[in-house]
Structure 1
Amino acid sequence: MVFVPKIVKLAVFKHLFKHNSLAIKETNRTQEVPQITYFNEEGAEVHPRNLYVNMIMNSLQSRQYVKDTYAWGHHYFLLTADGEKYIRRELDIDATVRPDPCTKQISEKPVEERRQREGFNRAPREERAPREERAPRAPRTEKKE
């Protein structure tokens, strides 16, 4: 059993809630996980050890709060719906706050401006010529065996 400091546990939970996933390289357990940062007692920015993050994620996986996928030397942890509820309780986050990947991205440009961008040159349906006036297609040739 490994003692994991509470500040490390909260930092992992914050990262997991914000990104809805976590990728850890399977390496030496004394190395650090550079994606996650927290501030220690002196106020310096620190990365948690791989051993701590691994133990936290194994604990969450055993309770089915995260789903683990292993490929090419990396563990990919995805947060489940039950895991999201658990982390909300642990971090005391209300239900109105959503993780970043779950929020819908809305373009700030109006539809007309988006149509003018490069590679989107198709005219609206009303402005196109009727099918009879367009150039005819080449006839299909069927292969005979």
Structure 2
Amino acid sequence: MDIQLVRIDDRLLHGQVATTWAKTTRINRIIVVSDEVAANPISKALVSQAAPPDIKAHVVTLDKLVEVYFHPMFLNVKVLLLFTKPSDVAAVYKRGVYINTVNIGGMKFTQGKKMITHFISVDDSDIEAFKFLDARGIELEVRKVPSDRKQLLMDILKKGNHI
């Protein structure tokens, strides 16, 4: 599997991902990796419908991603992995899915989360997952779209005294 982009965006597949990121990364497949989304037939259908016509979109569980990551059939497939939360990224990394950079595009505010930018909110579980990934040398960069200036998530967390 040729991973072109790993992105965390709880809005899943929407205009920014479907158009700008897909075009910039020249992928031919988007894989939403989430046990929760995979268990919801409506969400799965919406993801498939939101994909650009020339790009296949799938929703898989974490287990399924690990299984297909090592399958020879996907060796030269250029993919964008789309996650809803950082703990899932950490979980697949622990199981051997090689990741060197994670783009954080959107994590909505909910009860118990702190706003760290105008489009990213985190709780303690998110921060622990980000710290785990950072400790392994994985770049955690914040950008909504490719043309935005890249910011490092760990710098934002440190500046705001969140870690």
* Common fold by TM > 0.5: no
Q: Which has the larger radius of gyration?
A: 1
Higher RCO, 1 or 2 (CA under 8 Å, sep at least 6)? 2
Higher strand share: 2
TM-score (norm 2): 0.27
